Each structure stands twice: as structure tokens, then as C-alpha cells.
Amino acid sequence: MPTQTTANINTGTGAVATKPAAFYDKVLLKTLRARSFAHDKLAQTKNMPKNAGDTVNFRRIGVLAPATTPLAEAVTPAGNSATVTAISATTKQYGDFLEFSDVVDFQQVDPIVAEYAKEQGVQASETKDAIVRDELNGGSNVMYAGGRTSRATLAVGDKPTIDLYRKAALTLKKNKVRPAMGGKYVVFLTPEVVFDLLDDAKFIKAYEIAQNNKPFIDGEIADVYGIKFIETEAGTGKIFTGAGAAGANVHSSVMVGEEAYGVTKINGEGDVQTIVKALGSSGTADPLNQRQSIGWKINAFVAKRLKEEAIVRIESVPSNA
């Protein structure tokens, strides 16, 4: 998971003006570390140096087939040619802020502002997680529950099954994708999908056999059939609202193998900054010193799929969707 740190920008003056900003900065840092978000846990971190632009280019060499034709004596073979695929990722800025009137007293560390600072810490973490989640869900390899052939045809009753996840893992194996960690593929599930899987007879049987396995990832509910099942926090998994038949909510589960995706930031610029603007810092835009704000910003961050063949999306309509 990318390291998350904070920096502070304070436009006030004097010792008193800097103290409240320092307090809020610590609140933000604590909140970012207190919550666990799943989707970037297995991402490859690709940092870029400063002053090198905002775009990183990855290069992949195509798979070379086995050379099974014997060499003839003194005859040089025709040789092979390598294919190189370029993958580009461009970092972007993210952030948000809240304004307060002069009734709120920053210098006395108003408890209302402190609570907003905590919420902004969660918002920053959820923003990064959502960016990674949406990138993963943009992949081209998709399987549908209930034998359906498209998202629009998924309906109530097309519940997720352990056989569907085993088939997804088989697809990764056929693609010669190595496991994501510990010799296992990893799949991210919504709580609603987990609810149905825990009633699947094959899942229950395998779970009971392997129940002594210790989880290695936060949110891991099981390690069966060569797959680690990770439950995301409620509201953070991918749901295609109303996208199924008769307006059914379609839930996505994403299975990944080794080096399937990455997150990239510019060194020192991908962390969260707390930005405090004191009363009167806007100059003539705030002539009566009535407005102040606290916000956060990420200067450079991007998530990118690196191997399409190492990602499989499983779509279904859980019974509690």
C-alpha cells in the first residue's frame, strides 16, 4: 500500500496562527492510518522523480514462444522478433476543502473543525481507494453469474458462486499469470457478495477444511481453492447501480494476479497535504475577515492497469443487492 503522509500549508502569521494548523495536520494523519482500504494493497508502486513531467511510461516485452525446432549444424536460424507494448500513466491532482465563518475559532481548536478534519482524512483515503477500484473495474476480462452474457441481462437470482471464482482463477492460470501473493490469486468482494458465498456448499466445505489458515491481509475472510477472498468495507466496492435487468444492482468482484496494476506518484507529491487558510488570508476577497477554510490536496497520483490478462471481473446480483 502506498505510504500516506501529510504536509502542512498555513497562510496565517505568528506563532499562534501556526499552532492550530499543526494540530489539524496530526488529526488528518491519524485518521488516514486508522482506516483500511483494500483495492491498492496489491498494487505495484511506481514512483517518478520530481521535475520529470507528470507521465510515466511502462514497457512490456511480449511472451516468446518455446523454440522447439532443433538447430541444424552450421545453419543459423531465422531468429525471432520481440514485441514491445507501451503503457502510459499520467498523474493528476485531487482534493477538497470546507469553508467556515469567523464564528468558528481556529486558534482555540474548535471541536467542530477537528471533526471535519477527521472526516477529510477518511475522504482522502476513500478518494485514493475509489480511483484504484475504478481503474481495476475498467478491465476487459469479464465473467457473468447465472450463465448470462452481459451486465444488462443479469437479474435477481444470478448470485455469485464459488465455481465462478474458480473459473476466473483458471482463466488467470491459462493466461500464465502468476499468483498475486503467497501462491494465491486475490479477489475483492463486496459484503453483499460475501453474504451469498458463505451459503455456498462448496465454499463452506473448503472453508471448514482450511479454517486454521491465518489471514495475511486485512479483510480476508477465506483462503480456499488457491484464492484469497478479501471483503471490502461497505460502500467501497464497485456496484453498477441499476445496470442489470429490471434495474437490478450489479456487484463487481475483481480477481488479480501478480503485477496486475500499479499506482504512481511523483516523489514527495503523492501524499496528502493539509491546507489551512486563516481569516483574512484572501485579502480583498475577504475584506471583513469572515471566511476561513481547511482542506486537503494530493498533488500527483494515478492508478493504472498494467496487465489486462492478470485481471478478471466477476459480475453478479447478490440476494441482498
- Per-domain residue ranges of the chain: 6-60+86-134+265-304, 141-261+307-316
First to last CA, the chain: 29
Predicted confidence at residue 299, as pLDDT, reads: 86
Helix then strand then coil, in percent of the chain rounded to 5, is 30, 30, 40
Q: Burial, 14: exposed, middle or buried (Cβ in 10 Å; 0-12, 13-18, 19+)?
A: exposed
Sign for the pseudo-dihedral over CA of 43, 49, 51, 57: negative
CA angle 208, 214, 217 (to 5 degrees): 115
pLDDT at residue 113 tops 70: yes
Q: How far is CA 204 from CA 201, 207, 216, 223, 225, in A?
A: 5, 5, 20, 12, 12
| Per-residue pLDDT at 12 exceeds 50 | yes
| Residue 198's pLDDT band (cuts 50, 70, 90) | very high
Is the pLDDT at 304 greater than 50, yes or no?
A: yes
- In this prediction, residues 277-302 reach a mean pLDDT of 85
Q: How many CB atoms lie within 10 A of CB 272?
A: 25
Q: What is the pLDDT of residues 119-173, one digit of tens each?
A: 888 898 899 999 999 999 999 999 999 999 999 999 999 999 999 999 999 999 9
Q: What is the CATH code for 141-261+307-316?
A: 3.30.2320
Q: d(Cα 108, Cα 294) in Å, to the nearest integer? A: 15
> Residue 278 pLDDT more than 60?
yes
Query: Does pLDDT of 31 surpass 50?
Result: yes
